[in-house]
Structure 1
Amino acid sequence: MPRRLLQRYMPHPDTLRRQRSLRFMNGLIGNPALWVLTRRSVANAFSVGLFSAMLPIPLQMAVAACGAWLARCNLPLSVGLVWVTNPLTMPLIFYANYRLGAWLMDVPARDAPERLSPYWIAERLGDILPSLALGSVVTAVALALVANLAVRLLWRWQISRSWKARHRRRRRADCDDAL
């Protein structure tokens, strides 16, 4: 069941291979091992994608694609999960990461300005960056581990549930046949 749900929303590799902007990645996109939907590949894809999403760096999707290739997990899922930090959620997530990093470093955290601007960020980058980096890495590792465990447990629970339902249906069918 989880496999069918994920396959419904995933793009097909041939569709991506035909796009001009992605031709340079044909070797990576064409690797069938990166499109497999198993409990292990999906759980690792969640780890890679969410880890990459929590890093305050440009090209998060490229990092997720390289991570998916290294971990041999599902490529489209890991790249898609990077969008957890989209333009709407990014300021909140990275500010929370900064606060966590400041707390871990035992440094007083700066309050967020009423109006965030590139000038404010550039002016305070030296103060913010160490706390933001530490908080982001800690959050990324924790979220990757929790996501991996949660996906594996949910996948296992879903399979167990479907097996029990199949067993009940077979038992009912056997009882109906006996009558």
Structure 2
Amino acid sequence: MPKKLLQRFIPNPEQIKKHKHLKMFGQLLHKPNLWLLNRRSAPGAFAVGLFCAWLPIPFQMVVAAALAITFHVNLPLSVALVWITNPLTMPFMFYCAYLLGAGLLGQPTAEVQFEVSWHWLSQSLGTIGPSFLLGCLIMALGWALLGYLVISNLWKYSTLFKWQRRHKE
């Protein structure tokens, strides 16, 4: 069940191999293990994708692809999961990360007036930056672990249910 469900949502390998930002990986993208979807590669891909989704950097897909290649997990799934962070979800996710970081550091939360400028960014890194970055790191690690455990258990129970169904027939 998880394999068929996941295969519906992950991008085509040819689309990923032709992506302009991922061409820098060259022949590494042609390793067959990166395109397999099995009980080892799917949970790892979820962990990589969810970890990278919480990184407050541009080009998260490139980082997800590099980590998928490094850990030999499903590349399309890792790259696709990065899109959890999109213009609609990013403000909420990163605000939650900031609140978590501020709470862990024992700092009061500040009301943030966002501006798209280098001046605002450099000024804010000194005030809210440590809380925000710590929150992002904790969320990235937590969601990666949660994604790994959930998909690993779903795969395991799906396999058990298939075996039980076969033995009944």
Counterparts of 1:97-136 in structure 2 under 5 Å? Answer: 97-113=97-113, 116-118=114-116, 121-122=120-121, 123-136=123-136
Deviation at residue 57 of structure 1 after TM alignment: 1.1
Structure 1 pair 63/23, CA: closer, same or farther in 2 (3 Å)? closer
Structure 2: tracts of 5 or more residues without a match: none
User: Which residue number corresponds to residue 42 of structure 2?
Assistant: 42
Separation (CA, whole Å) in 2 of partners of 1:43 and 1:20: 24
Q: Give the whole-Å Cα distance in 2 for the aligned partners of 1:121 and 1:158.
A: 49
In structure 2, C-alpha distance between the alignment counterparts of 1:167 and 1:126, rounded to whole Å: 62
Compute the TM-score of the two structures, normalised by the length of structure 2.
0.88
Assess if the C-alpha contact under 8 Å between 2:10 and 2:80 holds in 1.
no
Deviations 1:63-118 (A, max 9, x none): 111110111100010011001111100010001000100111111111344xx432
Cα 1:139/1:2, change in 2 over 3 Å: same
Segment of structure 1 superposing worse, 78-87 or 25-34: 25-34
Query: RMSD across aligned C-alpha pairs, in angstroms?
Result: 1.9
Name the structure 2 match of 1:176: none
Shift of 1:29: 2.2
Say which structure, 1 or 2, has more relative contact order (CA 8 Å, 6+ apart): 2
User: Higher mean Cα deviation, 121-130 or 89-98?
Assistant: 121-130
TM-superposed deviation, 1:146: 1.2
- Work out whether 1:58 is the aligned partner of 2:86: no
Q: Which has the higher helix share?
A: 1
Percentage of pairs with the same residue = 45
> Gapped runs of 5+ residues in structure 1?
171-179
Q: Distance in 2 between matches of 1:87 and 1:130?
A: 23
Contact 2:101–2:131 (Cα < 8 Å) also in 1: yes
Deviation of 1:12 (Å) = 3.4
- CA 1:23–1:143: 2 relative to 1, 3 Å: closer
> 1:16 and 1:55 mapped to 2: Cα distance?
21
1:30 aligns with 2:64: no
Q: Which residue number corresponds to residue 151 of structure 1?
A: 151
Contact 2:68–2:74 (8 Å) recurs in 1: yes
Per-residue CA deviation, residues 13-72 of structure 1 (Å, 9 max, x unaligned), is: 34444x373544441321111111111110000000000111111111111111101111
Q: Do the aligned partners of 1:49 and 1:78 also contact (CA within 8 Å) in 2?
A: yes
